[in-house]
Structure 1
Amino acid sequence: MIPEPEGSKGTIRVLQLYPRDMNIYGDWGNALVLQQRLRWHGYTPELLEYNVGDDFPAGVDLIVGGGGQDSGQLVIQDDLQARGAVLKDLAEDGTPMLVICGLYQLFGKFFKTHTGSVIPGIGILDVETHGTDERLIGNVKVSTPEFGDVLGYENHSGQTTLGPGVAPLGTVAKGTGNNSGDGHEGARYRNVVASYLHGSLLPKNPAVADFLIRTAVERKFGTFVPGKPDDDYARLAREYAARRPR
């Protein structure tokens, strides 16, 4: 554990899942945003990594994981299965999590590649994904009931279908989203936020970042006392991203 700086409201332990193999299109930036916004809110971030073969750390308050190519999913699949029960217990207990693209798929039931191989998921999310020859790529705008408009960039050939056990993150206003048919993007279950959106996601979507932070803090300390984050760059990035063509 890191020492508490003077004036800190407390330490929040943020765990990155598989950053060595599941870190594509800038997804590591999501952890950096959480780290900085925790500081702005007056809390001390402790940023941890978990890769294949590591000891899984105890006392984790918030989990974030990124996307990867099919090859990256193959590298982590056995280790993820071994850690599946721990991650599922954390999710069921309400630990806030953000999982993007490849880890979104593997938090579901399975990912069946376009060649027919099946990579099993860990079943936290009631979703299943099928690889296709169609690539869904471009800028995305999603209307969500919790976070307002969520902006990002998708690039995936796996198409994900939601089961009754999860809700969509939101409805696509621009772009494709989970699949080419139903107009939904991402998934929500307990305090898990799952999405295909890279960019990375959190720099342009501080409302999502603050949901994860607030939830982690309330679970650990009972109440969340917000600070005064500097959202000027996030606002400019959102305005620019909203203007970009598909």
Structure 2
Amino acid sequence: MNPDHPKIVLLYQSLLGIYGDHGNAVVLLKRLQWRGFDAELVTVEPGQPVPTDGAVYLLGGGEDTAQITAVKELRADGGLFTALDSGAVLLAVCAGYQICGRTFTIGTRDEVIEGLGLIDAQTRRGPQRAVGEVLHHWTRPDGTTSLITGFENHGGWTTLGSDATPLATVELGWGNGDRRHEGAVQGRVVATYPHGPVLARNPDLADHLLSTALDRPLEPLDRPEIEALRRRRIDAVRAGRP
């Protein structure tokens, strides 16, 4: 990875892009450019080689068949694994989160599919679908806290193993399915269920991914309009408004 020319790599938009999660890539790109980085957004589709020199990689939401195809393609290509071993960061959202685990299920027969194994987690179909606005408490690596807001829509419930830790604790919503914990962190992989896209609603999380990938602190951005919109969204979620 070239820290002076960081690449944001959006993976398989045609498969895992039905909830607008491509917006996460745009957020990361803009937050780098606002700070003066010569950043680049690279979109990779199935059949195209995954570059190994990216800074942050992104997987989004999709349906059952798309999940299976994505796993097969990513495993056969191998580029994502190489990039993570080299210090890149991966943000995986919803279906992207599920396929990063050890196993997940699809269809009404709950067929068990082997995942990418990047997270010590297993996903099974829950007794009901988790749908609605969410609010979670994220503790940053430095011990400070921030709120994560978004919209969840998933039928899979995820259980973490001992090698993964939850990303956040739940104030409102289902989270991983237990209404207690949400998402997962393992190594340089961050996984979460909320759409929104989640990084547009949560700039602190976006900057955390970037600073981790670049291995350096980032200068704060003075964007009061973003903070004002975020505050209104949080207030609306707590008030029960759509």
Pairwise same-fold verdict (TM > 0.5): yes
Match for residue 163 of structure 2 among 152, 162, 165: 165
Please give the alpha-carbon distance, in whole angstroms, between the structure 1 residues aligned to 2:194 and 2:62: 12
Does 2:10 match 1:30? no
* Change over 3 Å in CA distance of 1:225–1:117 after alignment to 2: closer
Does 2:80 match 1:87? yes
**Superposition deviation, residue 92 in structure 1:** 4.3
- Match of residue 177 from structure 1: 175
Match for residue 56 of structure 1 among 50, 53, 69: 50
- Match of residue 71 from structure 1: 65
Give the number of aligned pairs: 234
**Superposition deviation, residue 59 in structure 1:** 1.3
- Residues 90-99 or 205-214, more deviating: 90-99
Render the CA deviation track for 1:41-94: whole Å, top value 9, x for unaligned. Answer: 1112111112111012131111111111113213323212213x5433433443
Please give the alpha-carbon distance, in whole angstroms, between the structure 1 residues aligned to 2:235 and 2:115: 33
- Contact 2:202–2:230, Cα closer than 8 Å, also in 1: no
**Superposition deviation, residue 206 in structure 1:** 0.4
- Contact 1:126–1:166, Cα closer than 8 Å, also in 2: yes
Which letter does structure 2 place at the counterpart of 1:168? P
**Superposition deviation, residue 24 in structure 1:** 2.2
- Contact 1:138–1:175, Cα closer than 8 Å, also in 2: yes
Please give the alpha-carbon distance, in whole angstroms, between the structure 1 residues aligned to 2:66 and 2:126: 18
Does 2:233 match 1:236? no
- Match of residue 126 from structure 1: 120
- Contact 1:40–1:229, Cα closer than 8 Å, also in 2: no
Match for residue 101 of structure 1 among 87, 94, 109: 94
- Contact 1:151–1:238, Cα closer than 8 Å, also in 2: no
Please give the alpha-carbon distance, in whole angstroms, between the structure 2 residues aligned to 1:225 and 1:155: 32
Please give the alpha-carbon distance, in whole angstroms, between the structure 2 residues aligned to 1:75 and 1:86: 16
Which letter does structure 2 place at the counterpart of 1:148? S
- Contact 1:94–1:190, Cα closer than 8 Å, also in 2: no
**Superposition deviation, residue 40 in structure 1:** 1.0
SS of the equivalent of 1:44 reads: coil
Please give the alpha-carbon distance, in whole angstroms, between the structure 2 residues aligned to 1:44 and 1:116: 45
Please give the alpha-carbon distance, in whole angstroms, between the structure 2 residues aligned to 1:129 and 1:109: 8
CA RMSD, Structure 1 to Structure 2 (Å) = 2.2
TM-score by length of 2: 0.88
Please give the alpha-carbon distance, in whole angstroms, between the structure 2 residues aligned to 1:235 and 1:120: 42
Which letter does structure 2 place at the counterpart of 1:214? S
- Residues 193-202 or 109-118, more deviating: 109-118
- Contact 1:81–1:121, Cα closer than 8 Å, also in 2: no
**Superposition deviation, residue 241 in structure 1:** 3.9
Render the CA deviation track for 1:124-155: whole Å, top value 9, x for unaligned. Answer: 10000012351100000001111511001100
- Contact 2:98–2:158, Cα closer than 8 Å, also in 1: yes
- Contact 2:175–2:181, Cα closer than 8 Å, also in 1: yes
* Change over 3 Å in CA distance of 1:224–1:103 after alignment to 2: same
SS of the equivalent of 1:210 reads: helix
- Contact 2:53–2:83, Cα closer than 8 Å, also in 1: no
- Contact 1:170–1:184, Cα closer than 8 Å, also in 2: yes
TM-score by length of 1: 0.87
Please give the alpha-carbon distance, in whole angstroms, between the structure 2 residues aligned to 1:242 and 1:161: 30
- Contact 1:111–1:119, Cα closer than 8 Å, also in 2: yes
Please give the alpha-carbon distance, in whole angstroms, between the structure 1 residues aligned to 2:231 and 2:23: 16
